[in-house]
Amino acid sequence: MTGGCGYDLGEGSDKKKHKDDRHDVYFLSPTMKWNGNIRDQVENLVLAIGANEFGSFISIGLLRVGNRVTLARRYLTDEDPRVNWDIDDLKKAVLDQGTVAEEGLKLIIPPWHCKVLHAAAKVSNKRQKKAEAKEE
C-alpha cells in the first residue's frame, strides 16, 4: 500500500505530503471483505508492518462495514525488538493478548488497545523534577 497520493501532516502553510516507503497490510479475512461475522471476530483483524521517513511502524486495526479499514499505528525505535518482527510475530502477539476462544475467536479488547501497540513507559521531565524535589 505505498501507491496513491499519500497523506497530509501539519497545519496551514506547514502542511506537507508524506508517503510510506513500505506498508505491508495483512487481512485475516479470507475474502478481504467485511462479512458481518460476529462469531469469529478475528476475521475482521487487519495487521500491518511498514516504514517511512519517521521510522518503522506496526499497525493493528479492523475491517469494518463498507470494507473500511481503521488502523492504529505505533512508530518504533531502532532498539525496539518489535522492529524485527514479521507479520507472524505481530499476529501471535495480538491474538495472545486480545482474544478469547468461545464459539470462534472473539476480541476481548479493541485491537489498538492491546499491549503490543503500547509505547515503552517513560517518566516525563516534569514528573521527574517533582520526584527529585520531594527527595531533597
Q: What's the chain's average pLDDT?
A: 77
- 76 closest CA partner among 112, 39, 49, 36: 49
pLDDT (0 to 100) of residue 129: 45
pTM over 0.85: no
Q: Which of 6-15, 84-93, 97-106, 110-119 is the least confident region?
A: 97-106
Compare 127 and 71 and report the one with higher pLDDT.
Answer: 71
Q: pLDDT over 90 for what percent of the chain?
A: 22
Which three-class secondary structure state does DSSP give residue 81?
helix
Compare 7 and 54 and report the one with higher pLDDT.
Answer: 54
Distance CA 26, CA 32 (A): 9
